Structures are given as structure tokens and as C-alpha cells.
Amino acid sequence: MPSRSLSRELALLMLGQTNDRGSTGGDRGPAAPEPPFEDLLQQALLTLTQHVREALDSSAADLQTAQQQLLDSELQEQGADQLPRVRQHLQQGLAAAEQALNRLSASLELPRLLLLADQEEVRRGAVERTRAVLRDRDGIDRRLDAVMEGWRLGRLPRIDRDILRLAVVDLDAFGTPAAVACSEAVELANRYSDEQGRRMINGVLRRFTTAAGSRA
């Protein structure tokens, strides 16, 4: 995983430690003092550690569900009339097992992120991205709102808003190519959001980069 991706993920977790209230439009008034970024970084690492534990616990629960569903299929009485029920149990068991494996696969990268988070380049990149978002969060939010198409940024889950904000600063402040910024935003959504969030983020960024390109 490139240091840029590691920094972005840490920045996402750092932003989650900040107050997001009232940041979608309007004037904030006098500039607030910068938060203690080192404290935010430490809290982000604690959050990441907890995320690893939760992912592993969820995987164990999914595997237990899969085992029970497979056992239920074996305990069904034989006969053609029972085949649909047996098939249902098998399908549910396999689906639970697949979900468990997907969770495990996603969580395997997280301990590596924890290990590499102490690298100066990674830590500096996380702080710089967090600072860039906080410095102009209202402006970033207004630009995102402009391409929401009948939706409002403030109605999205916090994690999805922060993923979008980080993608914008990647494009504006860090010179990340649009295709890379969008792809890595979707990857963050795969890890921290859900299918609906992933689709929303992908669509919003596609419209955002198209609008930015037409103004260039």
C-alpha cells in the first residue's frame, strides 16, 4: 500500500475525531484554532485498532452462522419435498462463509497500516490532509453540494462526507490524478462504508471531476 493511501486512511480516521457540526454551508465566523493533530493521530490509531477487533469478531460470528446453517441442512429429513429447504440452508451458510472471508481479507491489511503508521512520511501526509480539509471544509462542502443532484451532502453519513472531502483535497492540494483519487475513495468506502455509500461516493466524484474538467 503506497504511503499516500496509508496517509489518506489515517486522515479519514483523524477527521472522525473532529466536530463536523455546522460545516455544510454558512460562515464559521472567526477561524478556530488548529486542533492538536498529534492527539488526533493517536485517537485515529486507537480507532483503527478497535476496527480490527470488530472485523475479526464479525468474521467469527459469520463463520459460526455458516457452520449452523450447514449443520441445519444436514439435519433436514431426506426427500424431494425437503430439497428446497436444504438448498436454502446451504446457500445461507455459503453466503455467511463468504462474508466472513471478505471481512478477514479486508482486515488483514489493517495491522500493516498500524505498523506503518509510525513512518514519518505517512504521519506527515495524514496531518497535511487533515489540515487541508479542516482549513476549507465549508468551501469543499459547497462544491460537493453543487454536484449532489437532488441530495445534500449533510444527509450523508459522516464517514462518506469525510471520504469525499479527502478526495477533493487530493485533487486540489496534492495533485492526485482524478482516476486515482476516485478509485482510492471507493476503496476507503469498501472498508469503512457500505454498498450504498460506495455507489454514492463513486457517482458524486465522477460528477465532481467532470464539472472540474469542464471549468478548466
Give residue-wise pLDDT tens across range 136-187.
999 999 999 999 988 899 999 999 999 999 999 999 999 899 999 999 999 9
Maximal CA-CA distance, the chain: 75
Virtual CA dihedral for 24, 183, 8, 25, nearest 10 degrees? -10
- CATH H superfamily, domain 136-216: NusB-like (1.10.940.10)
pTM of the complete model: 0.71
The answer to whether 24 touches 152, Cβ cutoff 8 Å, is yes
The answer to whether 7 touches 122, Cβ cutoff 8 Å, is yes
What lies within 8 Å, CB to CB, of 61 at 6+ separation is none
Q: Which three cell numbers stand for residue 106?
A: 479486508
Give residue-wise pLDDT tens across range 83-125.
566 666 666 666 666 666 665 565 555 555 655 666 788 888 9
Question: For residues 130 and 135, what is the distance between their CA atoms, to the nearest angstrom?
Answer: 9
Give residue-wise pLDDT tens across range 11-30.
999 999 898 865 544 444 55
